[in-house]
Amino acid sequence: MSPNYVVVPQWQGSVSPRAMRLVDGAEAIQGDLPSSVTFPVDVPAEAGDALDTGIHRFSALLTVRDRQLAVLRAGSEPVLTIGGDCGVSFGAVEHASRRHPGDIALVWFDAHPDLHTSESSQSGGFGGMVLRAILGDGVDGLALDADARLSPDRVVLAGVRDIDPAEDVYITEQGIPLVPVEDFGTPAAVVAAVKRTGAAHVYVHIDLDVLDPATIVGLSNIYPFGLAVEGLTAAITALRAEFSLAGATIAGFAPSSPEAANDDLPSILRIISAITR
């Protein structure tokens, strides 16, 4: 895979007190990417307004989505999107879904399922709603339409371990499979779950908080008992061996300083290598 890299230093989808560090994280990763195939998206500095949607910074998120899609449409496939917060997967998956209509499975490597709506979310942060928006539920402009949305039977939740009650109800009602951290001794469970979707292409979303915080320090959200880098890269490698890659996202890198970023970048670059080699 010789990807294009689209860098989206969006912070407006996060409600973490570390949200602004996501800009630094995206820029730190960008510094190690080949400049000839790396395309940054201009993210507005302003926070934006909710506009009575129940989604914090809604107007800024719409602006980023439009700018991101413009960059994606001007490039070639495949694309590795670098965030920023998890909301950057919204436009990235939309683009991939339109390129491969009806034939994408989405593996959501994340500590959180991000399946809230603006009605169920207590925080109002779009980062906690993005997967539900990809499935078509949400506010106009930040919910995929019928031509691009994925169905719940094409989603696999991997490494998820912090699930709110409203999300748990939705997961149970829709029968969305979960591959817990303890099943990552080998990649077999996640590969089998994707095979059951029937899709030939896979999109891989990685929020770095799927990793154990002992493995990587610069996280915008910290939740214990996550994956080791080796478990994550083995799963990515196995998925790439079985399915065509429709695209990928790496999000959630929020280093406290340039020096701290340098400590974590070798692990992140190992993940990028597993996606692109």
pLDDT in tens, 124-159: 999 999 999 999 999 999 999 999 999 999 999 999
Task: Specify the residue for token string 């919204």.
Answer: 90
Alpha helices (runs of H) in the chain, residue ranges in sequence order: 21-30, 58-74, 88-99, 130-134, 165-174, 188-195, 229-242, 258-276
pLDDT of 242 higher than 80: yes
Predicted pLDDT at 75 = 85
Note the pLDDT of residue 251. 98
DSSP annotation of 78: -
Check residue 63 and give its pLDDT: 97
DSSP one-letter string for 15-60: -STTTTHHHHHHHHHHTTS-GGGEEE----SS----TTSSSTTHHH
Average pLDDT over residues 189-201: 98
Instruction: Please report the pLDDT score of residue 77 as a whole number.
Output: 80
Cβ neighbors of 108 (< 8 A, separation 6 or more) are 114, 131, 155, 156, 157, 158, 160, 205
Phi, psi of 179 (to 5 degrees): -110, 105
Burial class of residue 91 in the structure, from the number of CB atoms within 10 Å of its CB (0-12 exposed, 13-18 middle, 19+ buried) = buried
- How far does the chain reach from its first CA to its final CA, in angstroms? 6
User: What are the residues whose beta carbons fall under 8 Å from the beta carbon of 54, sequence distance 6 or more?
Assistant: 118, 119, 121, 124, 139
Number of domain units in the chain: 1
Residue 118 to residue 126: CA distance in whole angstroms: 8
pLDDT of residue 3: 86
Give the separation between CA 13 and CA 49, rounded to whole angstroms: 12
CA distance 193 to 155: 9
- CA separation, residue 246 to residues 79, 84, 98, 101, 219 (Å): 8, 20, 10, 11, 26
Binning pLDDT at 50, 70 and 90, where does residue 241 land? Answer: very high
Question: What's the whole-number average pLDDT of the chain?
Answer: 96
Structural domain boundaries, residue 36: 2-274
Percent of the chain beyond pLDDT 90? 95
CATH of the domain at 75: 3.40.800.10
**Distance from C-alpha of 61 to C-alpha of 5, rounded to nearest angstrom:** 20
pLDDT given at position 1: 59
pLDDT digits (tens, 9 = 90+) for 202-224: 999 999 999 999 999 999 888 99
Categorize the per-residue pLDDT at 2 as very low, low, confident or very high, splitting at 50, 70 and 90.
confident
Q: Is 249 helix (H, G, I), strand (E, B) or coil?
A: strand
Predicted model pTM = 0.97
Under 8 Å between Cβ of 179 and 186: no
Residues 88-101, mean pLDDT to the nearest whole number: 97
Q: Are 203 and 192 in contact (CB under 8 A)?
A: no
